[in-house]
């Protein structure tokens, strides 16, 4: 099954091949049957593009803008994994099983980036009561759709209670109070998620931050204190449904399933 993007790409190549041949009666000094040549080139281009599109992930520009990853964040991440998730591991690395989509509730990119940058959490007493580790995120999407990578994809980040150990996080600059998420962000989120799905075959879930509590009580949810949770509304059902309209339905889900 060829995706809409692949079909569009194939159609463009076909058109260019046809345009380049129509009106040329001679190729290599010999008279040719134009339509036979067009058909051959058309089929060759079609198969080549379909094959290449299946082998390589869709390109998405990603700007590298790392936050602090020092010995303090490493040690606090290991402590969080042990004390909050009950996982005694040697390194704060993850094997992604899901993607979680957020909004920052901060109106600017600069403010959002500053919130994630330090290793130690400033303020937010409820979160501090669980750990001094600062919140973190793998990707931050500005309102113009620019995608920034703040942490390597296999690094642990604190962004979703009970699921950090297996979740890649995407934050979008904005909120529901005067700075709504944009169409540019939606398009970038979709492209980024598709890229991640191709890169990590183990990912079986794509959820909004507001949906994380649906996993409580399942084998995926690992939080040692059942009373430690926060209520979230980001980014909302409408935004997630808009994302899901462009994702493979047989590949990912928003609710726990034994075999996603």
Topology of domain 62-244, CATH: Lysozyme-like (3.40.80)
Average per-residue pLDDT in the chain?
84
Can you tell me the distance from the alpha carbon of 56 to that of 5, in angstroms, rounded to the nearest whole number? 13
According to the model, what pLDDT value does residue 260 have?
62
Q: Which has the minimum average pLDDT: 17-31, 138-152, 183-197? A: 17-31
Neighbours of 203 (CB within 10 A): 22
Can you tell me the distance from the alpha carbon of 76 to that of 201, in angstroms, rounded to the nearest whole number? 29
According to the model, what pLDDT value does residue 49 have?
40
| Side-chain-side CA neighbours of residue 214 (13 Å) | 14
According to the model, what pLDDT value does residue 259 have?
78
According to the model, what pLDDT value does residue 20 have?
41
According to the model, what pLDDT value does residue 56 have?
35
Can you tell me the distance from the alpha carbon of 111 to that of 104, in angstroms, rounded to the nearest whole number? 9
Domain locations in the chain as residue ranges: 4-55, 62-244
Query: 257 pLDDT exceeds 60?
Result: yes
Q: Which 8-state DSSP code applies to residue 216?
A: T
Instruction: State pLDDT tens for residues 83-110.
Output: 999 999 999 999 999 999 999 999 999 9
Q: How confident is the model at residue 43 (pLDDT cuts 50, 70, 90)?
A: very low
Can you tell me the distance from the alpha carbon of 150 to that of 216, in angstroms, rounded to the nearest whole number? 28
Instruction: State pLDDT tens for residues 120-166.
Output: 999 899 999 999 999 999 999 999 999 999 999 999 999 999 999 99
């Amino acid at each position: 099954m060829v995706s809409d993007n692949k079909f569009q790409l194939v159609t463009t190549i076909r058109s260019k091949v046809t345009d380049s041949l129509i009106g040329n009666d001679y190729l290599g000094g010999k008279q040719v049957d134009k339509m036979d040549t067009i058909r051959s080139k058309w089929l060759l281009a079609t198969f080549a593009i379909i094959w290449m599109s299946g082998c390589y992930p869709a390109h998405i520009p990603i700007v590298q803008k790392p936050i602090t990853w020092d010995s303090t964040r490493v040690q606090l991440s290991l402590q969080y994994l042990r004390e909050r998730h009950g996982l005694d591991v040697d390194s704060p690395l993850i094997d992604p099983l899901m993607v979680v989509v957020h909004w920052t509730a901060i109106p600017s990119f600069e403010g959002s980036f500053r919130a994630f940058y330090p290793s130690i959490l400033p303020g937010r007493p409820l979160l501090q009561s669980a750990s001094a580790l600062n919140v973190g995120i793998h990707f931050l999407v500005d309102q113009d759709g620019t995608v920034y990578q703040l942490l390597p994809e296999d690094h642990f980040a604190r962004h979703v209670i009970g699921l950090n150990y297996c979740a890649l996080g995407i934050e979008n600059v904005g909120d529901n109070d005067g700075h709504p998420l944009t169409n540019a962000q939606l398009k970038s989120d979709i492209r980024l998620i598709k890229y991640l799905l191709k890169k990590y075959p183990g990912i079986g879930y794509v959820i909004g931050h507001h949906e994380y509590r649906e996993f409580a009580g399942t084998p995926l949810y690992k939080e040692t204190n059942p009373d430690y949770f926060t209520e979230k509304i980001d980014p909302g059902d409408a935004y997630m449904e808009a994302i899901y309209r462009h994702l493979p339905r047989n590949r990912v889900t928003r609710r726990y399933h034994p075999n996603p």
